Structure 1
């Protein structure tokens, strides 16, 4: 897959940092070191996306194996202290997935991906680092065994290389135990436990015209839930 996007009147950021106290309008005064950003229309935005994937059956463990790699590149025009510049971002994501094909009662998936990110500005004004790698390993199990009992579990590892933000690698583990009943096992009642290891986090990294953003968001703490599911066939 190959794709691309171009915008002729892209809404870009125009950023100004005051070197001294200055009044920029009747009701706006900037102190020394303050930053003022406003939207402007600029040409020159474009992005490119590509993905290649290859899959094949692996009979030894009755599974399918898929290898893929995706690459995305963006060119974002900006203005910093009156000077036109551009911010570029390159993402390369290799990934491998092993998915079971054993039976309708047993299903498992294991995967690993590495998000390689490189961000840079033509003015080199951004503080911090724009180069980092996100690691994501995951395992998923679904098993229906005696008397319609079900066991499901997901396990994720998320880690970062190259970011000095104090964010630690963490594991996210969820488990559910249920019972299927009614005709054709159309109904199921189950008890689910989320974030058993109490390590869940929410972290994102983004770039602006002259800065990098590290954003930590609040997440749900560990909890349990009882649910009823009815499948209409």
Structure 2
């Protein structure tokens, strides 16, 4: 890696070389035809950028000065993935579990120095002890009462990072857990209904500035209907209600989102489909998100594209329109 810098008429060249040896391993055990366990180990690297390496202050913002670090090492990432898959196609039961563990050696983080008048100087440094863990478990069971199924799932993650403020170590830990349940109902051969409910809980803790510790909740409830009508017409509608709570004032929103679609297939082998889509019929779509940094919490509220309509035409290029999923070749024409 080479970079050139021109400061006060003086030209300087930065040269940096990185060598990588990246082992990988994979283990798979098949208990039966429909049940297996996979274990993957991978390594990867992230090199510092020229900007991070250049030891030249960037004072374009006099209150937030950035300076590089020519002694930065590359990040080395170790990742372990554990996947368990079990399905009983005869009883319509399944179990999926996915877990990931990632550790980063020489992780590049920011070290901030804040002086008595509030000027912040940020310099990247290498640290060890950064890692994150995530996982998902899903269980699916048949329900004969309504000729459908019920799925229970949960996902969670934990992230531990390290930064510095005035040479003091600042540990930042983030938790997330989100259970979810989904019910599929086959009311008839031509009518399907699904109901879902999920909750996501987030928590961030700071080692130094504990006044920034934060937690918030996101709830989501949804319903979807798929209905096959006479004369090759199809109707689909979906409604999602999102509740944001425990955020800053003005960001605890409740967002109802309703979309609807009607389509008709025609031509030989149903190759052609014309579809009218209506998005955000209630005109209430608003995006809310939260970001947490070393010394700040940021809530964002974005006004998304609201109610709009879309007319589309799809032509299937397969020979008989009955090809396997993923093998179809389609031509789309849209207008809205």
Give TM-score scaled by structure 2 length. Answer: 0.61
Name the CA distance, whole Å, in 2 between partners of 1:45 and 1:72: 14
Name the CA distance, whole Å, in 2 between partners of 1:38 and 1:109: 51
Name the CA distance, whole Å, in 2 between partners of 1:107 and 1:41: 54
In 2, are the aligned partners of 1:165 and 1:214 still within 8 Å (CA)?
A: no
Q: Across the two proteins, how many residue pairs are aligned to each other?
A: 220
Aligned partner of 2:241 among 134, 148, 157: 157
| TM-superposition CA deviations, 1:62-98 (whole Å, max 9, x none) | 1110111222101011112221111000101100011
1:4 and 2:89 matched: no
| TM-superposition CA deviations, 1:149-202 (whole Å, max 9, x none) | 111111111111211241221111111122111233232111111111111111
Aligned partner of 2:138 among 38, 48, 53: 53
Aligned position for 1:26? none
CA drift of 1:126 comes to 5.2
Name the CA distance, whole Å, in 2 between partners of 1:104 and 1:16: 66
In 1, are the aligned partners of 2:285 and 2:303 still within 8 Å (CA)?
A: no
Structure 1 pair 216–15 and aligned structure 2 pair: CA distance change class (3 A):
farther
1:203 and 2:288 matched: yes
| TM-superposition CA deviations, 1:42-72 (whole Å, max 9, x none) | 2111011122222101111111101112221
Aligned position for 1:188? 273
In 1, are the aligned partners of 2:113 and 2:165 still within 8 Å (CA)?
A: yes
Name the CA distance, whole Å, in 2 between partners of 1:5 and 1:149: 48
Q: Secondary structure at the residue paired with 1:184?
A: helix
In 1, are the aligned partners of 2:108 and 2:126 still within 8 Å (CA)?
A: yes
Instruction: Name the Cα RMSD after superposition.
Output: 1.9
Name the CA distance, whole Å, in 2 between partners of 1:50 and 1:194: 32
Aligned position for 2:112? 15
**Structure of higher RCO (CA pairs closer than 8 Å, 6+ residues apart):** 1
Q: Secondary structure at the residue paired with 2:286?
A: coil
In 2, are the aligned partners of 1:62 and 1:100 still within 8 Å (CA)?
A: yes
* Unpaired segments ≥5 residues, structure 2: 1-97, 324-336
In 2, are the aligned partners of 1:126 and 1:209 still within 8 Å (CA)?
A: no
Name the CA distance, whole Å, in 2 between partners of 1:189 and 1:196: 20
Name the CA distance, whole Å, in 2 between partners of 1:216 and 1:10: 31
The residue correspondences of 1:108-123 to structure 2 (distance < 5 A) are: 108-123=193-208
Aligned position for 2:220? 136
Which structure would you say has the larger Rg?
2
